[in-house]
């Protein structure tokens, strides 16, 4: 899917007639979590403000903090958060996937924003599509059953007192075989080198 930037929309979005008869509300559309691939695509947070200005949140300085418990062994720490305004003229799209467990439908909404002289001139609906949520809900239910079965197995006597220890024994055996194999391979290599020198 690639990287993207997040968009927080405070500018009032157009009313959607397409929502009629669905479980999705205009408030949910307005306050949704939007993304865009038309700006930096570097996981920045952008805000479209009520007055039409658009700002990017970025830290003045950043440093990498090592943390063995964190994902990738650390995290990025920033100081002095800045809200830098976008300038000039540009057009960018932003979108949101909205999953609804009620009402039978999931939604995809995409908007197109036009900026003139550093301010939003217009935001128009670019795409509005719906699809059945049944497959997604079925997949979630299947995953939940598998997860429940996995937890039940891990708490069983079979896993605690049989598989856990037999697995450890097998791992030790495999490691031993690998060690012996490497040892024999090294010995054979040294013998071959010695025989080669004697033949010279």
Domain residue spans in the chain? Answer: 5-133, 156-199
pLDDT over 70 for what percent of the chain? 96
Whether residue 120 is predicted with pLDDT greater than 80 in this model: the reply is yes
Whether residue 73 is predicted with pLDDT greater than 60 in this model: the reply is yes
Copy the structure tokens of residue 86.
């976008």
Among residues 129, 122, 119, which one has the least CA distance to residue 96?
Answer: 129
Copy the structure tokens of residue 135.
């497959």
* Phi and psi based region of residue 90 (left: phi greater than 0; alpha: psi -120 to 50; beta: remaining): beta
Whether residue 1 is predicted with pLDDT greater than 60 in this model: the reply is no
Confidence band of 164 (pLDDT split at 50, 70, 90): low
CA–CA distance, 107 with 123 (Å, rounded to integer): 19
Predicted pLDDT of residue 193 = 77
Residue 136 host element (H or E) = helix 134-154
pLDDT in tens, 121-148: 999 999 999 999 999 999 999 999 999 9
Copy the structure tokens of residue 47.
């805000």
pLDDT over 90 for what percent of the chain? 57
Whole-Å CA distances, 21 to 24, 103, 141: 9, 9, 26
Predicted pLDDT of residue 190 = 78
Is the pTM here over 0.75, yes or no? no
């Amino acid at each position: 899917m690639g990287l993207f930037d997040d968009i927080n929309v405070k500018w009032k979005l157009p009313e959607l007639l397409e929502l009629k008869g669905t479980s999705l509300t205009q408030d949910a559309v307005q306050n949704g979590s939007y993304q865009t691939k038309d700006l930096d695509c570097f996981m920045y947070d952008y805000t479209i403000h009520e007055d039409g200005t658009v700002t990017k949140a970025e830290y003045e300085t950043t440093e990498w903090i090592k943390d063995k418990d964190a994902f990738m062994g650390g995290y990025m720490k920033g100081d002095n958060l800045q809200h830098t305004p976008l300038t000039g003229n540009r057009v960018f799209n932003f979108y949101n996937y909205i999953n609804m467990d009620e009402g039978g439908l999931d939604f995809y909404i995409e908007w197109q924003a036009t900026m003139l002289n550093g301010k939003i001139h217009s935001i128009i609906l670019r795409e509005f599509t719906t699809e059945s949520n049944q497959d997604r809900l079925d997949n979630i239910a299947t995953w939940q059953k598998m997860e429940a079965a996995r937890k039940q197995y891990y708490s069983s006597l079979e896993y605690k007192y049989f598989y856990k220890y037999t697995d450890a024994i097998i791992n030790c055996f495999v490691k031993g075989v690998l060690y012996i194999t490497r040892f024999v391979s090294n010995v054979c290599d040294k013998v071959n080198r010695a025989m080669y020198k004697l033949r010279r």
